[in-house]
Amino acid sequence: MNIHTFKESVHIDRAVLGFSGWPDAGRLVEFTLTQLKNLISHELAAVWDLDGFWHTESTRPQVSVRHGQVQQIEWPSYQFFLARADESGGPILIGNGPEPSLAWRSFAKHLVRLLKSWGCREIYLLGSLLDQIFHDETLITSVVQDPGSYNRARELGCGLIEYSGPSAIHSAIMAEAKESDIPCMSFWAHLPFYLSGPHELITAEFLRILGNMLGVALPTADLMKAWKKREKQIEQLVHQDQELRRTIESIKKEKVMRRSGLSPKVVQFEDFLKKRNGPDADKE
């Protein structure tokens, strides 16, 4: 495991980790971690060279070429930042990098052992996914592994995920953390399927939850101000797109009928997206 540290020693209480790629729909996790680092002091503590945990079908190194010559190659890596929310709080580790595409069990084992060697007592994982919700809704769900985490998730207003399907690296990390007796919670933000780009409203909710877990108030006034402006733009676009508006209205009707115990009509989103993107969309 090739890890380059920038400090003589790293000591942490808790870790907040995110992964780009499949578990970061809309790049919301990346946006949230950027906002978090803007709010608290932090410094680069270590970089983990992910050689052996990726392949070129999912991740490619970034190259810089000048005057026909290769100047630099940036290999896939995972970065750790040491942060402190306030003077009284314990040190926090913020980590972000690409989701590994190979050897998940080995990666999770190395990661948890590393965090444990740094004194980590709790791990929080962030993820985001597309869902049938609307742009003015906030939905954060959680995966937990012990009664204490269950109660905390409920106190924070998080739903508990019911899911069967392809996994993210989060599951492997949670399984390894459980073996190492380190409490680990995974938080997932649900994004409207019809939007792309930053979603300040959901990011503000993510920060509220993180602030609660970390014991510090993270200000979100600027995010909410930016969201009010974006919300008006979104509503204008939805109003102009009749097909999208009909689809959203169908989903709203479906939710009402589901709560009433009736059988709703299922909206086929793949067909909807193909219609929007044109007949050649499935050939790309």
At 109-149, the pLDDT tens digits run 999 999 999 999 999 999 999 988 888 889 999 999 889 99
In angstroms, the CA 175 to CA 171 distance is: 6
> Do residues 112 and 63 both lie within one domain?
yes
pTM for the structure as a whole: 0.83
**Of all residues in the chain, what percent carry a pLDDT higher than 70?**
87
Predicted pLDDT of residue 82 = 94
Residue 94 forms part of a structural domain: yes
pLDDT one-digit tens code per residue, 196-244: 778 999 999 999 999 999 988 899 999 999 999 988 888 888 788 888 7
> 71 and 100 share a domain?
yes
- Predicted pLDDT of residue 163: 81
Of 51, 166, 45, 46, the C-alpha closest to 106 is 51
d(CA 32, CA 222): 13
3-state secondary structure the chain: CCEEECCCCCCCCEEEEEEECCCEHHHHHHHHHHHHHHHCEEEEEEEEECCCCCCCCCCCCEEEEECCEEEEEECCEEEEEEEECCCCCCEEEEEEEECCCCCHHHHHHHHHHHHHHCCCCEEEEEEEEEECCCCCCCCEEEECCCHHHHHHHHHCCCEECCCCCCCCHHHHHHHHHHHCCCCEEEEEEEEECCCCCCCHHHHHHHHHHHHHHHCCCCCCHHHHHHHHHHHHHHHHHHHHCHHHHHHHHHHHHHHHHHHHCCCCCCCCHHHHHHHHHCCCHHHC
Establish if 55 belongs to a structural domain.
yes
Residues 10 and 150 in one domain: yes
- Determine, yes or no, domain membership for 192: yes
Instruction: Convert the pLDDT of each residue in 256-277 to its tens digit.
Output: 555 555 443 444 445 545 555 5
In terms of domains, do 110 and 140 share one? Answer: yes
Q: What is the mean pLDDT of residues 56-61?
A: 80
Same-domain status, 34 and 98: yes
Domain count, the chain: 2
Do 162 and 205 lie in a common domain?
A: yes
The pLDDT value recorded for residue 79 is: 96
Is residue 234 in a domain? Answer: no
Residue 173 pLDDT > 80, yes or no? yes
Query: Do 190 and 263 share a domain, yes or no?
Result: no
pLDDT tens readout for residues 151-163: 999 999 999 888 8
Domain boundary residue among 220, 253, 271?
220
Q: Do residue 149 and residue 106 come from a single domain?
A: yes
Q: Are residues 62 and 122 in the same domain?
A: yes
Residue 238 burial by CB count (10 A; 0-12/13-18/19+): exposed, middle or buried? middle
Q: Are strands 14-20 and 91-98 parallel, antiparallel or unpaired?
A: parallel
Cβ atoms 142, 159 nearer than 8 A: yes
Residue 225 lies in a domain: no
**30 within a domain of the structure (yes/no):** yes
What's the rounded Cα separation, in Å, for the pair 135 and 118? 39
Does 69 share its domain with 176?
yes
**Enclosing domain of residue 272:** 241-283
CATH code, domain carrying 210: 3.40.50.10900
Q: Which two tokens stand for residue 239?
A: 């109003």
Confirm whether 236 is domain-assigned.
no
Same domain, residue pair 177 and 208: yes
Q: Is 266 in the same domain as 189?
A: no
Which phi-psi region, left, alpha or beta, contains residue 21 (left: φ > 0; alpha: ψ -120 to 50)? left
Q: Is residue 231 one of the residues assigned to a domain? A: no
Strand partners, 128: 24, 189
